[in-house]
Each structure stands twice: as C-alpha cells, then as structure tokens.
Amino acid sequence: MSREAQLPAEKTGSAKKRPALRLWFLATVLGIAAFFGWLLWPSDSEISPFDLSRADGKPRFYATTYSKMEMPRRLPLPQRLLWTWTEFQRRHRKRNPAAYTFRASPIGLCSIHGLLNQCMEITGTQYLIAVEVAGAVAFGNTNSLNGSQWVAAFEHAIRASGPVICYDFAKKRNFQDALLVIHERAGVVKIVPRTKLAEYQKAGLVKAGAR
C-alpha cells in the first residue's frame, strides 16, 4: 500500500520574523557600543588651529567649547559609562538663558576667548573666533542682567571696543584691529578682525557680503 508524500509544513509568520529580530537586536547592541565608545574616546589629541596657522599662515577659526569635567581615575566601567552619559547630557541639553542672573560688576579687561566660552555655556551658541584674535576687551554691567542680556552686552562690547591685540601668523607679527561679530546662521557667531575679513571670505570661511 503506497503512502502519500507529505508536503513540508508552511513556515509560520513568527518563524519568518525571528532572523529579522535577531538582526535588529544585534544592530541595536552594536549601535549602543559604538555610541559609548565614541563618548569615551579621547578627543584632546587634535592639533590646535593655532599650531596649524603658525605652520602655514592660513586663516582658521578656533571654536568655543563647553567646560569639561575631568573623570576620576580608576572608576569601574558602569560608573564610567554613567559619568560619560551625564557629561553628554550636560553638554547637549537645551539651554535656558533666563535661568542665569549676573549682578552688576565694574568695567575691566576681560578675555575674549574665556567669556565667549561662558556665553556658549549660557545660550548654546557656538562662537568661531579667528585665530588672529588674541586680546581682551573692556566689559562690565551696571545693572543686574539675565543670561541673554549678559551675552548680548558682551557681544556689543566686542563690536564697540577699540582695536584689540591680534597676531598675524603669515607675517609673524602683532597688530591691532577692530573686531566684527558676524551672525551668519542660527547657533553660530563668527568673530573676525576687520582687516582680515577679505581673507576669510576668500578662504570660504565667511560668506561674501557678511559684515
């Protein structure tokens, strides 16, 4: 008596989905590992724009940065990851300038680089400062100001200041010049010596027609 050949059973929908789920899970794990690897990777080994311009004399920008909290040594891996994640959130959270209050302070010479770093901490706006800029400006406030007002006041002090000390990397000498505060797009402000504007525009670092 002959037996009928049995046809293979059709695969169910859940069985078809299993390889896709495994791939999705693997991709997620690899993505998380890559993300934390990027967070933990040291980033202080880059050559500074000042060293590059010192070598070739070309115009460049120095970018303001958020303050960095040094991670304690010999932390266990879970605490290292938590520390790094907390630092990441601190740097990338949405800023609230209205939460800051600056009391009145006497006018004095203030570092352009130092206070623009502080401006970035308050508003999240990044400042690109021409490498030639090396001086300080007179700044102070007679009234109490919130964060936005204080940042606007310091930008005005940069614009209104007289010539500040700069350094020409191509000619290897100091010079004095007024500074331009250029708002090209939201979230980015460029600080350029007035007499160097054409060079930065020619290099494609500042848009034509910017003032």
pLDDT (tens digit per residue) in 128-162? 999 999 989 999 999 999 999 999 999 999 999 98
- pLDDT value, residue 210: 74
Span 28-80, pLDDT tens digits: 766 666 655 555 555 444 789 999 999 999 999 999 987 776 667 776 777 67
What's the predicted TM-score (pTM) here? 0.71
Q: Is 10 helix (H, G, I), strand (E, B) or coil?
A: coil
Report how far apart, in Å, the C-alpha atoms of 49 and of each of 55, 56, 137 are.
10, 11, 22
- pLDDT value, residue 96: 85
Mean pLDDT, all residues of the chain: 83
Which of the two residues, 21 and 100, has the higher pLDDT score? 100
Q: Which residues of 23-37 are buried (b: 16+ CB within 10 A; e: fewer)?
A: eeeeeeeeeeeeebe
Q: Cβ of 174: how many Cβ atoms within 10 Å?
A: 12
Q: What is the C-alpha to C-alpha distance for residues 168 and 173, in angstroms, rounded to an integer?
A: 5
Task: Give the β-pairing of 61-63 and 105-111.
Answer: unpaired
For the chain, the first-to-last Cα distance in angstroms comes to: 97
Domains of the chain: which residue ranges? 49-65+76-202
- pLDDT value, residue 114: 94
Backbone angle region of 172, left / alpha / beta, with phi > 0 → left and psi within -120 to 50 → alpha: left
Residues in a beta bridge with 173: 168
Residue 133 is given by DSSP the state B
